[in-house]
A and B are shown apart, each in its own frame.
Chain A
Amino acid sequence: MDSVPGRARHLESAVSICLLAVIFLIGIGVFIKQSDYDMSRFGISATPIEPQSQPPVLTREKKPVLTSLKPQGFDALSETEVYEPENLYEKINGKAPLYIDSGFVKLFTQRFVSESDEDLWMELFVYDMATTKNAFSVYSVQRRADADILSLFHPSNGYRTSNALYFIHGKYYIELIGSSESGELSKAMKAAAQNIQTSLVVDKAATIPELSLFPQENLIPGSTKLYLANAFGFEGLSDTFTAQYKIDGETIMVFLSEQPGITEAKTMAENYRKFLIENGAIPKKAIDQSLEGKTFDFYGTTEIVFSVGQFVVGIHEAENQQAAEKVARLFVEKFRMFTEAVSDE
């Protein structure tokens, strides 16, 4: 190997020393700067996103459409605001985890005010929840008890209260919150909802097939809810739908959770029964023989848990055992259509 000429060797050394010096200075800089770290400033990036940089929803004109969703006779009172998981708390504070844990992607909001009365205003919240199922979950768990179902929506998908309107549209969960309980505002919110339904493009094929699994007889309209995880505090009981039935004057809550297969459903039902017993449930005699061993007394209420095919089905905290078992039988019969094997019986 030829030796490197002396001049070139010195040049190499000089360059190397310079490079090392630069690296050393960078190291010193990093060392000094990290002492300055302030978590309150850099803990989480929460820079608001300019609406223009990423339109909330796109029309054919490729413009943000929240303003265009306003009802007739109303003007924009504020700009469209956009929030992501990192800064959602800025808008809704402690309710942010409810959305984030349910697949939240973005929130778009804007206020609209009446042209004739500045005290009449509403705020539109459009939550992009990624999927229809996620949107249904956050919608359903917040559903108000005094909900007034509108013909505008499917009973499971929308309602209004005296000052607000709530519904899902594809993957979006939408709230229209009014500043008062005025009839004029209520009409305007309905008009805005219609605008949204016609203008906001969504995948109409995306539905929630599980909703059709609930027998319609005696079902209380709009009572279906979806808990994406840890239903009734039981870890593992995910994607659990609940609904209420009115039977013999009693209101009975039923739950339904689809599992990957028959074996998994059996195991999940068994595990949930163990969970109930660990928490104070006591097995009790069932009126219906087929529900024997699956019926419990839980602090004066009746719990029933069984599996049918790949589904875990149960009755939760029923005050009347007879009515609870009647509802349970409705499900057994319904699911017999899907599978002859009532696996847990």
Chain B
Amino acid sequence: MSNKENNSFGRRRFLARAGKAGIAIAGCGIASYLLYDPTGPRPGVEAEDLVTLADFSVPRKQGQTMCIVQGPDRTKTVNKVIELLGGIERFVESGDTVAIKPNVAFATPAMLGATANPELVAEVVRLCYKGGAKKVIVTDNPINDPASCFTLSGVGKAASQAGGKVVLPKTHLFKHTTLTDGRLIKNWPIFYEPFEKADKLIGISPIKHHHRAGASMSMKNWYGLLGGRRNVFHQDINTIIAELAMMVKPTLVILDGTEVMMTNGPTGGSVSDLKRANTMIASTDCVAADSYGCGLLNLKISDLPYLAKAEEAKAGTNNYKSLNPIFATIS
């Protein structure tokens, strides 16, 4: 074969191969275009495996949606708020399984006010049994060392002594949920199993300053139901708190303003972060409860955008006065 023929053959082969390569590249491009997913990755849970938290609310009673009792003794004030809202029998029926969700987010002593007060939790457990409850579960999902959180806060011991069954979070107790009309809670794991068998749900939370959200009260307390890497929601804290209020329909929330963490929240650290406000709030509407509670932190309702968002989403009202709350004082 002459050099000329060799060169000519090389060109033909080159052109043929270049053509094939071009077709391959174009094919890849078309395939990529067709496979491109503009909505991003989907979670791994199929729609049929998603769960929805039950609606634990009780029928509304005109003029008995919200109650505020002033007094220094939590045991007395919590009994009074519940009594004035119609008594524990309104909220707990004979044979009910009641889930209590206190804020036990930190492994800190009760006196710092970063967690729900153990005596208050114990008293609510006792009240539930008095109302006829068959079983009372006390549970929360602190990310860091739940056993220490329940132990050092005193909530675990107090709840157990009152007859409550303390349930610590474990992986198999979580299931994925999607909030209809939600933007953030989509295919997200929540602490579900303890609430699956419950008939009623009561939230108990202290009133605290919160560096990110402005305030941590009864709506923010539901943050503890979220599993996974939930800190991603801190980027949009107002939306997630509003969505939690949409997701959780409790029987009752108890907002403890006996001592309020005014600064350095949500962890606090010093008793000097607390101010005695001697106020106990209970409501079937957690948005209304928080709207009153923010005043104890010297905040306006407009200072907490999640209150407006929650109201807009019809999770409750931030015009708590429209509920004609009951006010009382006990010594």
Contact = CB atoms under 8 A, between A and B. Distances in A.
A40 B229 contact: yes
A44 B232 contact: yes
A35 interface: yes
Given A37-B41, A41-B229, A90-B143, A144 B272 contact: yes
A331 to B, nearest CB: 28
A177 B43 contact: no
A95 B265 contact: yes
Contacts of B271: 161-163, 181
Interface stretch (B61-69, B77-85, B104-112, B129-137): B104-112
A166 B272 CA distance: 13
Contacts of A78: 148
A177 B108 contact: yes
B24 to A, nearest CB: 9
Nearest to B176: A40
A89 B265 contact: no
Given A78-B148, A98-B211, A93 B105 contact: yes
Contact of A163 (B9, B111, B152, B212): B111
Contacts of A93: 105-106, 266-267
Contacts of B144: 90-91
A146 B272 contact: yes
B258 interface: no
Nearest to B143: A90
Interface in B149-197: 152, 176, 187-189
B273 interface: yes
A44 B229 contact: yes
A35 B42 contact: yes
Given A31-B35, A38-B44, A92 B212 contact: no
A39 interface: yes
A112 B1 CA distance: 90
A39 B186 CA distance: 10
B264 A142 contact: yes
B229 A35 contact: no
Interface in B189-238: 189, 210-213, 216, 227-232, 234, 237
B41 A97 contact: no
B322 interface: no
B269 interface: yes
Interface string A25-67: 0000001001111111111101000000000000000000000
B324 interface: no
A41 B228 CA distance: 6
A180 interface: yes
Given A41-B229, A180-B109, A94 B234 contact: yes
A97 B267 contact: no
Interface in A77-109: 78, 89-98
Interface in A193-216: none
B230 to A, nearest CB: 8
Contact of A94 (B143, B187, B213): B213
A218 interface: no
B67 to A, nearest CB: 28
B302 interface: no
Interface in B16-51: 35, 41-45
A179 B267 CA distance: 14
Given A93-B106, A97-B234, A43 B267 contact: no
Given A31-B35, A41-B229, A144-B272, A92 B109 contact: no
A31 B34 CA distance: 13
A144 B270 contact: yes
Contacts of A34: 41
B87 interface: no
Contacts of A91: 144
A92 B189 CA distance: 21
Contact of B234 (A35, A89, A142, A180): A89
B140 to A, nearest CB: 13
Interface of B: 6, 9-10, 35, 41-45, 105-109, 111-112, 143-144, 148, 152, 176, 187-189, 210-213, 216, 227-232, 234, 237, 263-267, 269-273
Please give me the 3 A-B residue pairs with the lowest Cβ-Cβ distance, nearest first.
Answer: A40-B228, A37-B41, A94-B212
17 contacts: A1-B6, A36-B44, A37-B43, A37-B44, A39-B41, A39-B232, A40-B189, A40-B230, A46-B231, A89-B234, A93-B105, A94-B212, A94-B234, A96-B234, A97-B211, A123-B107, A162-B272
Given A44-B229, A164-B269, 9 more contacts: A3-B9, A37-B42, A40-B176, A40-B228, A89-B234, A93-B105, A96-B234, A164-B270, A179-B111
